[in-house]
Structure 1
């Protein structure tokens, strides 16, 4: 906060959503919360894998999505968004085909309920979307289909696809649906989204860290911190041929407008 970096602690299940609100209540401004049930927490499991040259370990427990309980959390003025919600097919790869199909249907059902909650609470949705493998656009295809249906029911629904990992075409569809895309420090060492960054309007982009994971260059191998968000902004400035200050200014405006902060 002393460096001028504000943050949103994003809940991944009920307990962490509650905790995010409690933490945000300790600050008059600059610290906020999002409430939601991450798709990976719909199943019980233990994950220990190497992702993006980083060892990632975490446990999940099968939690049922209680619409009313999350609705109460979303009413809190410090809760500025609903999420993290969405689809994660990547962590289903060790399941049988039958288990995988059932898990996907469950994720899609709960994602749609989160979008309904976001519309009811009049707050943006923070969407997580991860395909089963790189180049396999299954999760993005399903996510966009669900989002289109939700927009038909609630035209004012808005939000952001955090940790954007889609194509230029998918980004453009999100823009048409009045959703933004957000980039992490991954773009400092992976070039897959350079074209999207160059072409996407700066008014449709946000920056984030997804701390404590995937620290950007030059902090690879260390715990990621919110302060490192400027590295993603620097990379976007480089790719777009504009100043860091312009990227910082516009992405901050985008975030404040979306989250109403």
Structure 2
């Protein structure tokens, strides 16, 4: 049986009972890359990684929330520096696309904070996990190229064809969630993107529709994603699962 890697999950946002259920039922999952929302989230993910060997933490600050003040930024970066040997990547970081659409907030401070995270990833020689969709993605690509970043992960990516090709040409990776099972937009994206740079994720505990409606988001859902990717790419499920595993292990040096 091939094992897959959930390349993006917020394990710390599940309650203790849910985490217990997840970790008892992941025999077919090799690892879970648990990204962080803020400093408290970083600390919780570090605790989870100490409890469960399959949990690989990433530390960062999710952009879909108010900006930190300078003292808070310095506190977060000091903590990450102190604990960087225990993390697998910088993330989740990026730009606040959905918040900006809802509240019309300015981008400037978020770009500055993201650039600091890009510099951190460069300094630590680690992958960076990105929340960057639609028109925000080219801005993020500019920053990555400016600092010669070679290992980047655009999670749950959505964007235009030009940006999609740019991400692929730069050797960056994207991941798709279980919505590939029922969303044509994501199926088309997977069709266009090289399978050698594709990964699967849940973004749990984010809930899904279609056949997953009403279910707690579980890492096993990526097995269904892999089946759809196999069909789209015209390969066997075995081949797709092996390639998705290889891709994630390569990016995250697992």
Q: Report the TM range for the smaller structure's normalisation.
A: 0.7 to 0.9
Report what 1:149 is aligned to.
Answer: 146
Report what 2:95 is aligned to.
Answer: 87
How many angstroms does 1:181 deviate by? 0.8
Q: TM-score, normalised by structure 2?
A: 0.82
- Residue from 133, 151, 159 that aligns with 1:166: 159
**Structure 1 residues not aligned, in runs of 5+:** 45-60, 132-136
Deviations 1:130-177 (A, max 9, x none): 34xxxxx2x1232222222122xxx5x312101111233212211222
Higher strand share: 1
How many angstroms does 1:227 deviate by? 1.5
Change (3 A) 1:167 1:244: farther
SS of the residue aligned with 2:89? Answer: strand
- Is 1:23 aligned to 2:31, yes or no? no
- Is 1:70 aligned to 2:80, yes or no? yes
* 8 Å Cα contact 1:43/1:62 also seen in 2: no
Report runs of 4+ in structure 1 exceeding 6 Å deviation.
none
The structure showing larger relative contact order (alpha-carbon pairs under 8 Å, at least 6 residues apart) is 2
Report what 1:41 is aligned to.
Answer: 65
Q: Matches of residues 1-261 of structure 1 in structure 2 within 5 Å?
A: 1-27=26-52, 29-43=53-67, 64-66=72-74, 67-76=77-86, 79-95=87-103, 100-101=105-106, 104-131=107-134, 137=135, 139-151=136-148, 157-215=150-208, 217-261=210-254
Report what 1:58 is aligned to.
Answer: none
Higher helix share: 2
For residues 192 and 171 of structure 2, the distance between their equivalents in structure 1, rounded to whole angstroms, comes to 17
SS of the residue aligned with 1:6? Answer: strand
Deviations 1:170-203 (A, max 9, x none): 1221122221111111211211133331232211
Count of residues in Structure 1 that have an aligned counterpart in Structure 2: 227
* 8 Å Cα contact 2:179/2:186 also seen in 1: no
* 8 Å Cα contact 1:7/1:32 also seen in 2: yes
For residues 71 and 247 of structure 2, the distance between their equivalents in structure 1, rounded to whole angstroms, comes to 32
**Structure 2 residues not aligned, in runs of 5+:** 1-25
* 8 Å Cα contact 1:162/1:182 also seen in 2: yes
Change (3 A) 1:244 1:146: same
CA RMSD of aligned residues (A): 2.2
SS of the residue aligned with 1:11? Answer: coil
